[in-house]
């Protein structure tokens, strides 16, 4: 008998395709390995723990960069805050420092809160010159500063009060967007 890869042929017998005795050997199967051992053995790739650590480090770096950019924006807007500190963790920003006045404090909260990716702002700031707090209004589709002024002040022409209260974040009274939060100061 002679065996060739998967065929067994006995000498002295005549075989045709219909009576060849085919035998297959199971040389394949499922083998188990340690999932991330290759990264350690060959020095290529990363383990799940290494990838998770890198992702966490990248997230922390991105949050620190975003916080620094927000602090820079606040400075560029010439909002007076001593010892400003902006910290971002996930979608929450924490701000601290001493604002010159209540309006400055509220504007800093709005600059940070109206930034993409920020859902909540933990305001830990203090105020040097205390004054009444403003109300906040979240813009909805169809809002205009005139409609908002009519709602809060009873006079649509008071939209300039809202516009001025939200400068320098607002550059044009016609450019507001749904989801944006605005300061609505009390009238004198």
Q: Is the bond preceding residue 168 a cis peptide, omega within 30 degrees?
A: yes
Q: Which helix (H) or strand (E) holds 44?
A: none
Percentage of the chain lying above the pLDDT 90 cut: 70
Q: What is the mean pLDDT of residues 120-128?
A: 96
CB 109 within 8 A of CB 169: no
DSSP structure class, residue 126: E
- pLDDT-derived band of residue 33, with 50, 70 and 90 as boundaries? low
CA distance 43 to 35: 14
Contacts of 47 (CB under 8 A, 6+ apart): 36, 39, 40
Do residues 121 and 142 both lie within one domain? no
> Is position 138 within any domain?
yes
Q: Which of 86, 113, 129 is the last residue of a domain?
A: 129
Structural domain harbouring 88 = 71-129
Q: What is the mean pLDDT of residues 58-79?
A: 95
Which CATH number goes with the domain that contains 111? 3.30.1340
CB 85 within 8 A of CB 96: yes
In the predicted model, is pLDDT for residue 174 greater than 70?
yes
In the predicted model, is pLDDT for residue 154 greater than 70?
yes
Per-residue confidence (pLDDT) for residue 165, from 0 to 100: 95
Which CATH number goes with the domain that contains 166? 3.10.350.10
Q: For the chain, how many structural domains are there in total?
A: 2
Per-residue confidence (pLDDT) for residue 35, from 0 to 100: 65
Write down the mean pLDDT value for the chain.
86
Per-residue confidence (pLDDT) for residue 38, from 0 to 100: 60
> Is position 20 within any domain?
no
Do residues 120 and 147 both lie within one domain? no
Rounded (5°) CA angle 94-96-102: 110
Per-residue confidence (pLDDT) for residue 80, from 0 to 100: 94
In the predicted model, is pLDDT for residue 20 greater than 60?
no
> Is position 13 within any domain?
no
> Is position 161 within any domain?
yes
Q: Which residue has the higher pLDDT, 180 or 5?
A: 180
In the predicted model, is pLDDT for residue 173 greater than 90?
yes
- How many residues are recorded in the chain? 188
> Is position 97 within any domain?
yes
CA distance 37 to 89: 33
> Is position 7 within any domain?
no
Q: Which of 129, 146, 162 is the last residue of a domain?
A: 129
> Is position 78 within any domain?
yes
In the predicted model, is pLDDT for residue 11 greater than 70?
no
Do residues 104 and 138 both lie within one domain? no
CB 145 within 8 A of CB 163: yes
- pLDDT-derived band of residue 10, with 50, 70 and 90 as boundaries? low
> Can you point out the beta strands (E) in the chain?
2-4, 7-9, 81-89, 92-101, 120-123, 126-129, 135-138, 181-184
CA distance 39 to 6: 37
């Amino acid at each position: 008998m002679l065996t060739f890869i998967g065929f067994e042929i006995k000498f002295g017998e005549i075989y045709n395709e219909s009576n060849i005795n085919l035998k297959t050997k199971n040389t394949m199967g499922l083998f188990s390995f340690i999932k991330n051992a290759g990264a350690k053995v060959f020095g290529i790739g990363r383990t799940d723990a290494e990838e998770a650590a890198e992702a966490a480090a990248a997230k922390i770096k991105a949050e620190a960069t975003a916080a620094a950019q927000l602090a820079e924006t606040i400075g560029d807007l010439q909002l007076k805050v001593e010892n400003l500190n902006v910290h971002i963790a996930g979608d929450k920003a924490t701000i601290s420092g001493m604002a010159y006045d209540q309006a400055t404090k509220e504007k800093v909260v709005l600059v940070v809160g109206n930034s993409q990716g920020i859902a909540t702002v933990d305001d830990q700031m203090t105020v040097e010159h205390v004054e009444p707090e403003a109300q906040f209004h979240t813009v909805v589709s169809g809002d205009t500063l005139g409609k908002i002024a009519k709602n809060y002040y009873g006079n649509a022409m008071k939209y300039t009060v809202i516009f001025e209260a939200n400068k320098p974040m607002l550059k044009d009274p016609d450019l507001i967007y749904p989801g944006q939060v605005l300061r609505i100061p009390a009238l004198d």
